[in-house]
Amino acid sequence: MVNHNVNHKNIESINSLKNKEKIRILFVCLGNICRSSSAEEIMRTLIKKKGLEHEIEVDSAGILSYHKGELPDSRMRMHASRRGYQLTHRSRPVCTEDFYHFDRIIGMDDRNIEDLMERAPDLETEKKIHRMTDYCRTKVADYVPDPYYGGAQGFENVLDILEDACAGLLTSLVPDN
């Protein structure tokens, strides 16, 4: 069965990435202490498992600079460590240079996407902005919810969504792997 609901923006992006030396991905959420830092580490783990460390670079940042320099939220670190992920990234805000350095800038929810679109320096860099859940393969989610004000299940749900979406993202970048 052929999927006729192809996103042509993604196909163009994938084709342009295949011709570059290294694919650079930036994950973005509000404060860079829960969702984006987790996505960075999950993706990094998948990349290492596939032996693609020299082909794909990942980083994360936040819309706000409130948590600049801080480690991820302790609850998120605890839940992630139970799955084998060590979240050591220090929070940093998105900067203009990110729009030029990274090939894909992936927001966790609609507000992140809107903020990134407003900050994008030009139309070309706007094309680099994507939604994390667009890469989900089995999870049905419109966005990655912010677990900061919730309980343990919220952190687990975020990790479930991110594991699925990161696997889908990697497959979209390197379909032969």
Tell the residue number behind the tokens 């903020």, with chain if given.
115
In the chain, the amino acid numbered 80 is A
Q: Which of 59, 73, 115, 146 is catalytic?
A: 146
Does the active-site annotation cover 95?
no
Q: What is the CA radius of gyration of the chain?
A: 15
- For residues 82 and 62, give the distance between their C-alpha atoms in angstroms, rounded to a whole number: 24
**What spatial distance separates the first Cα and last Cα of the chain, rounded to whole Å?**
22
Does the active-site annotation cover 29?
yes
Rounded to 5 degrees, what angle do the CA atoms 59, 90, 101 make?
A: 30
Q: Which residues contact 173 (CB under 8 A, 6 or more apart)?
A: 14, 17, 23, 56
Q: Which of 35, 77, 104, 119 is catalytic?
A: 35
Query: Which of 170, 173, 141 minimizes the C-alpha distance to 158?
Result: 141
Q: Which of 24, 29, 115, 164 is catalytic?
A: 29
What are the backbone angles phi and psi of residue 147, rounded to the nearest 5°? Answer: -85, 0
Does the active-site annotation cover 35?
yes
135 vs 10, 138, 170, CA distance in Å? 10, 9, 9
Q: Which residues are catalytic?
A: 29, 35, 146
